[in-house]
Amino acid sequence: MATVIPTPSPGRRWPVPRIGLIVSAVVIGTGCDSPAGPRAVASVHVTPETWTFTSISDTVRFTAQATDARGATIPGHSFTWSVEPSGVVFIRDDGLATAFGPGSATVSATTDSVTGTAQVGVVQTVASVVILSAGVLVRALGDSVVLYVVALDARSFPVAGTRFSFQSLDENVVTVGPAGWVKAVAPGVARVVATAFEEADTATVEVHQDVATIELTPDSAVIEDGTTRQFAAGLKDRNGYAITDRSPEWRVADTLVATVNGGGRVTATATKLGPTAVIGPCVRLHAVYGCSRGSRTYLCPFLTRPAVLLGVVLLNRPA
């Protein structure tokens, strides 16, 4: 049986399948939303947004992201890093920042002429207190010395402007003022504490009086042959305070005229004098503490322990 293909009549329109129209519409619509090139950078976000360093030379790494107008991240961007003002933080090209000095600064990351920022500060925290003048020696009562103290952060950099409080643990030996001046009160060894932000250090202060003068009493005397006389020697430091924990060494320049014991008692012998002599020679009595040099012990180096001379007139009894 032969198949008959209908022949369209002139002017007749053939129907188009409805599914074909729908597919064409979908394809055309999708093609209109395709991107037309790289996305523009709308903003730059720096992380962390804020950071505070507590020690000089501490470091932190900043990172940056570029985003478009919708807030979506745009990968593949490199950034130029900078910081203002200078002197607070130093930042490398890879975003690693290092604390340089106390203060505040702004860290910036720039790409495609768009910049993002973060705020940084350097506020040193006291991690330790060190007394630089430890082992202090004071050589006279009433003298004062100052303790030099420094506060350090965790990386041992000085924390400028730190205020310290001071305390003497042995006030019968030394006292200490609010500025760290230590004053000698009595011979001995004392401890002084410096404190800042609950951190502290202790220094040892020794008070040792150097002998500056020796005063003899009496300063002259007349002693008959065969009799004795007691003398006293008062040792003093350079501020005139008595030294009571030491005794001088007693000497007589001419033992044929007089002798002296360790306690300062002088005995007239006058064996040099003839039987008719009435007035004997004047001899020198020395009270010496250290650094003696022959009979001229009063010429001690630096006058740290000078001796005082005493004239003694001896009387010889007539035969």
Which residues are CB-contacts of 239 (< 8 A; sequence separation ≥ 6)? 140, 141, 142, 143
Q: Is 140 helix (H, G, I), strand (E, B) or coil?
A: coil
**pLDDT band at residue 35 using 50, 70 and 90 as cut-offs:** low
Which residues are CB-contacts of 118 (< 8 A; sequence separation ≥ 6)? 46, 47, 48, 49, 50, 51, 62, 106, 107
**In CATH, what class is 43-122?**
mainly beta
- Provide the pLDDT for residue 153: 98
Report residue 298: phi and psi, to 5°.
-75, -5
265-296 pLDDT, tens digit per residue, is 888 876 554 433 323 334 556 666 554 222 22
Alpha carbon 9 to its chain centroid, in Å, reads: 112
- Provide the pLDDT for residue 287: 60
- 57: how many CB neighbours lie within 10 A of its CB? 13
Q: Which of 29-38, 54-63, 129-138, 286-295 has the lowest mean pLDDT?
A: 286-295
**pLDDT band at residue 28 using 50, 70 and 90 as cut-offs:** very low
- Provide the pLDDT for residue 284: 59
What average pLDDT score do residues 9-24 get?
47
What average pLDDT score do residues 115-125 get?
98
- Provide the pLDDT for residue 306: 34
**Would 43-122 and 213-315 be classified into the same CATH topology?**
yes
Structure tokens at 141: 């009562």
Quick one: which of 216, 226, 235 has its CA closest to 284?
216
Structure tokens at 34: 């395709």
- Topology, domain 128-207: Immunoglobulin-like (2.60.40)
153-189 pLDDT, tens digit per residue, is 999 999 999 999 999 999 999 999 999 999 999 999 9
- Topology, domain 213-315: Immunoglobulin-like (2.60.40)
Domain range list for the chain: 43-122, 128-207, 213-315
8-22, 182-196, 232-246 — most confident range: 182-196
188-209 pLDDT, tens digit per residue, is 999 999 999 999 999 999 999 9
Q: What percent of the chain has pLDDT over 70?
A: 73
Q: Which of 32-41, 178-187, 278-287, 297-306 has the lowest mean pLDDT?
A: 297-306
- Give the whole-angstrom CA distance, residue 48 versus residue 118: 7
One-letter amino acid identity for 78?
S
Residue entry with tokens 């002599």: 277
